[in-house]
Amino acid sequence: MEPPAPQRRVTIVDVARHAQVSTTAVSKVLRNAYGASPEMRAKVRRAIDELGYRPNAAARGLRGQTYTIGVMLPDIRNPFFPEILDGITDHLAETDYQVFLGPGGCNDEKAEARVTDAMIDRGMDGIILIAPVSSRARLERIASAVPAVVVGRHGHSTVYDTVTDDDVAGAAMLVGHLVDLGHRRIAHIEHHETDPTRIAEMPNAQRADGYRHAMRSLGLAEEIDIVSTTYTQEGGYEGAKQLLARPRRPTAVFAGADIVAMGVLEALTEAGLSVPGDISVAGYDNTTFASFGPISLTSVDQAGHEIGGNAARLLLERIADRRKAPVQVKLSPTLVPRRTTAPPPA
Amino acid sequence: MEPPAPQRRVTIVDVARHAQVSTTAVSKVLRNAYGASPEMRAKVRRAIDELGYRPNAAARGLRGQTYTIGVMLPDIRNPFFPEILDGITDHLAETDYQVFLGPGGCNDEKAEARVTDAMIDRGMDGIILIAPVSSRARLERIASAVPAVVVGRHGHSTVYDTVTDDDVAGAAMLVGHLVDLGHRRIAHIEHHETDPTRIAEMPNAQRADGYRHAMRSLGLAEEIDIVSTTYTQEGGYEGAKQLLARPRRPTAVFAGADIVAMGVLEALTEAGLSVPGDISVAGYDNTTFASFGPISLTSVDQAGHEIGGNAARLLLERIADRRKAPVQVKLSPTLVPRRTTAPPPA
DNA sequence: GCGGTTTTGGGTAACGTTTCCCATCGGGTG
DNA sequence: CACCCGATGGGAAACGTTACCCAAAACCGC
C-alpha cells in the first residue's frame, strides 16, 4: 500500500519550470496572446502535454474570465429545451467555452433568482436565460451584472439581447390551417396570465393574441372562444371539459402547448369522441412526443436549434463588447400538420 | 447620461470595513466557523445585508471549496433524468450547495470526458455521474480527482459510491406480468452492447439478463427471443419489423425502454395490428409520455426521485470524508400496468 | 553604424477568500 | 497573586492565474 497519493494538481508554475520559461510565457501561450514566438509556443505546448496540465478555472475566474457560460432553464421537463440547448452547444463547440445548465425550479421566481445569482457568483462569462419568469427589472439587474441573452421573452431591453420565435405568426398559421380544413368554431386554451408585463412579453400571451387576430382577420370574430387554464396536462384536461360543456361545441381545439393537447386528447377519449373524426386538436412546440405514432399531433415547430444558435452567437458578441447595441432576433415557426387535424364532421 | 456604472462588486473587505472588524472575522461568520461571538456575528450579518454582499465563488474555489456540485447527464432528452435531478436538488435544497448540470453529448465518451474535466477544472466539490458511458478506468480517474457518485452503473468500485435500480428485478416483474396475462411468446428488444465491461455494468444489459432469467425460471426458455437494436425510437421500429417477420409472431413485446416502445407501436400501427388486441407492448422507465392518454404504455417505474436523493446523500457523505468506504445502493422498481398490455388473442 | 521601432521574454502585483498562526483579555485555579 | 486556559479577534501568507509593466535583443531604414 503506497500512501494514497496526495496528488497536487499540475499548475502553471510546474509547466513553466518544466519548459524552462516564465509563467507569463505559459499564460500567453494558453490564451494565444501576443508576445510569444513560435518556438516558445511549441516548447510550452509540449510541456503542457507532457504534464497533462489543465488551467485552474477558479484562479482564472479570480482574474476575470472563467470560460463558462450558464444556461438557465426553468423546467428541464419541457421537451422543447433540448433543441435550444443543442443549438447553443453546437455553436459553442469550437470555442473554449463550457456550458453549464442551472436548473430553475418550474416557473418559480425565487428559484430562478437563486440560480442566476449563483451563476453570477461563479463569475460566469455570460448567461442565457430561457423563457424566464422573472420580472423585467430583475432581468435588467442580471444583465447589468453579466452579459446576458434572453430567449422567449418578447419586449426590448437596453442591456440584453433577445431571441424569440414569432408566436403570433405561429398561432395564425395554425388557425389558418384549421380554417383551410373547413373549421369555423375553433377554440383556444391559453395559459392564464395576470401580470401586465408578462401579458406583453410571454409567449403564451402572444399565442392567444395571434389566435384572436387570426380569427378576426378571417372573419371569425364571432367564434373566438378562449379558455384560460395552465400550460399543463391537467390544464388541457380541464380546458377540454369546459369546451365540451358548451352549447355549441367547437369543432377544433388549438391548445397553446403540446402538453396541453395531451390533456385535451385524454378528455376527448373519456367523452367518447374520436380525433380527428369528431373534433380536431392541435398543439404548439412540436415536442418529441408529438411525432409518436399513437399521438401524431398537429403542431407548430419553433426553430429550436436556430434559436439556441442565435442566442449563443449574440452572447459571444456581447461578451466581446459589453456595450454594443442590443439586438432582437425573431425567428419564424413552421406548421407541422399531422393526424389530429382533419376537416370537421359534415 | 451618467457614466455606465463600473459597479465594483462588494467584497469581504468592504463588509469588514463597514462592520469595523477584520476580514478574518467576516470569513468566520460566513462559514459559521469557530471563534466569533454572537455580537460579532450579528454585526457582520447586518453589514452583509446592508451591502448586499455575496461571496465570490472563484476566490473561494482557489482556497478549496466552491459550494458547487456537478451533475453529468449524458442526454437531456431522456425524460427519466428530471426525476433523478429533482431528487438531487430536493436533497440539496437546504444546504449551501448549488447544482449545475453538465450536458454530455448523447452516449459520447469524448463529450463526457470534456464535461467531467470541465467540472474538475472548476473545482466542483463533488460530482454525480448519471448513467455514464465512460470506461471503468475513466470513472475511477474522475473519482480520484473529486468525490463522485455514479448512478445507473452496476458494478462496484473502491473510490466511488453507486446508486442503481434493480433492472433484473424490473425486467422479471414485467415478464411476470405478461405471463400472468397468459402470454408465452414474449420477445425483448435490447440495446446492442459489445464492450465486455458495459455488458456487466449497463442497465440495458441487465434488463436483457433479467428477461432471460425470468423466462427460464417460468419454464419459457424455448420462447426466449431477443432482438438487438438500440434504445431509440428507430431501434424500436426496426426491432418490431424483425419480430413481425418471424414465422411465429410473439404475442407480447417487452421493449427495453419506453422510447423503444414508441417505435414498436409505430411499426405495429403500420402493420395494421391493434394494441393490445393483437399484440401487447411494454416499455421501461415510466417516462412522462407513457402516461399520456393515447399512449397509456405499460412500463416499469424506477424510483427516480429516490435515486437522486440517495446519490446526493452519498455525495455529501463522501465530501465530508473522502476516504469512507464506498456504498452501493440498489433500489427496487415498480410495475405500472396500463392499456398496452392485455391477455393474448385467443 | 546609429537612433528608433518591433519583437520577445519575464518580474511582479493584483484578484477575494480562507487558514494558520499569534496576541489579547477575562477569569478561574492552585 | 502568579499561572494557565478558553474565548475572541486579527495579521498575513497562501491559492493559481493574468496583466501591466519594463528590459533586452533584434531588426530597420538611412
Closest by Cα among B130, B137, B21 to B86 = B130
Question: For B71-84, what is the mean pLDDT?
Answer: 84
The reply to whether B22 and B101 lie within a common domain is: no
User: Grid coordinates standing for A63?
Assistant: 482574474
Question: pLDDT digits over A53-67, tens only?
Answer: 999 999 999 998 999
Shared-domain flag, residues A307 and A158: yes
Cβ–Cβ < 8 Å for B201, B134: no
Q: Are residues A198 and A283 in the same domain?
A: yes
Nearest nucleotide (C1') to the CA of residue A62?
C15
Give the CATH number for residue B16: 1.10.260.40
A70 and A51 in a common domain: no
Q: Separation of CA B36 and C1' C29 in angstroms? A: 26
In a domain, A341, yes or no: no
Q: Which of A301, A289, A280, A272 is nearest to A233 (CA)?
A: A289
**Residue B45: band (very low, low, confident or very high) from pLDDT cuts 50, 70, 90:** very high
Q: How far is CA A69 from CA A74, A88, A89, A122, in A?
A: 16, 10, 10, 10
Q: Do A115 and A202 reside in the same domain of the chain?
A: no
Query: What are the pLDDT digits (tens) for B91-115?
Result: 998 898 999 999 877 678 888 999 9
Check residue A190 and give its pLDDT. Answer: 93
Does the distance separating the beta carbons of A123 and B58 come in below 8 Å? yes
The enclosing domain of B141 has a CATH number of: 3.40.50.2300
Cβ-proximal residues to B55 (8 Å cutoff; 6+ apart), any chain: A121, B12, B30
Picking from A98, A120, A127, A338 by the largest number of B CB atoms within 10 A of its own CB, the best residue to mutate is: A98
HSE, side-chain direction, 13 A CA sphere, residue B170: 31
A272 part of a folded domain:
yes
Domain membership flag for residue A93: yes
**A123/B56 CB distance under 8 A:** yes
Tell me if A103 and B89 make a contact (CB, 8 A cut-off): yes
For the cut 80, the answer to whether the pLDDT of residue B181 exceeds it is yes
B121: chain A residues, CB-CB within 8 Å: 54-57
The count of domains in chain A is 3
pLDDT at B2 over 80: no
B270 shares a domain with B257: yes
State yes or no: pLDDT of B7 exceeds 70. Answer: no
Query: pLDDT value at position A32?
Result: 87
Which portions of chain A are predicted below pLDDT 50?
A: 1-6
Full domain range(s) for residue A214 = 167-302
Higher pLDDT, B23 or A2: B23
Q: What are phi and psi of A344, to 5 degrees?
A: -70, 160
Whether B156 is in a domain gets the answer yes
Q: What share of chain A is helix, strand, coil (3-state, %, to 5)?
A: 45, 15, 40
Report the distance separating Cα B111 and Cα B105, nearest Å.
5
Shortest CA to C1' contact from B43: nucleotide: D9
- Can you give the pLDDT at residue B198? 76
Between chains, do A144 and B79 touch, taking CB under 8 Å as contact? no
DSSP B334: E
> Do B27 and B89 belong together in one domain?
no
Are B248 and B315 contained in the same domain? no
User: Does A117 sit within 8 Å of B294, measured CB to CB?
Assistant: no
> What local confidence, expressed as pLDDT, does residue A5 receive?
43
pLDDT, position A7: 66
- Residue B249 belongs to a domain: yes
For residue A35, give the nucleotide whose C1' atom is nearest its CA.
Answer: C8
Whether A196 contacts A147, CB under 8 Å: no
Cell numbers linked to B276? 393490445
Read off the pLDDT of each residue in B169-181 and give the average, rounded to a whole number: 94
B271 in any annotated domain: yes
- Based on the domain organization, do A175 and A298 belong to the same domain? yes
A264 & A203 share domain: yes
Say if CB B250 and CB B187 are below 8 A apart: yes
DSSP-assigned states of every residue in A20-83 = TS-HHHHHHHHTT-SS--HHHHHHHHHHHHHHT----HHHHHHHT---EEEEEES-TT-TTHHH
Q: What is the tens place of the pLDDT at every residue in B239-279?
A: 999 999 999 899 999 999 999 999 999 999 888 898 888 99
Judged against a pLDDT cut of 50, whether residue B4 lies above it is answered with no
A209 in the same domain as A157 = no
How is residue B293 annotated by DSSP? T
Same domain assignment for residues B156 and B259: no
Assess if residue A340 is contained within a domain.
no
- Please indicate, yes or no, if residue A7 is contained in any of the structural domains: no
Report the residue from A7, A58, A118 with minimal CB separation from B58.
A58
Residue A55 half-sphere exposure toward CB, CA atoms < 13 A: 19
C strand bases under 7 Å from protein CB: 7-12, 14-21
A112 in Cβ contact with A105 (< 8 Å)? yes
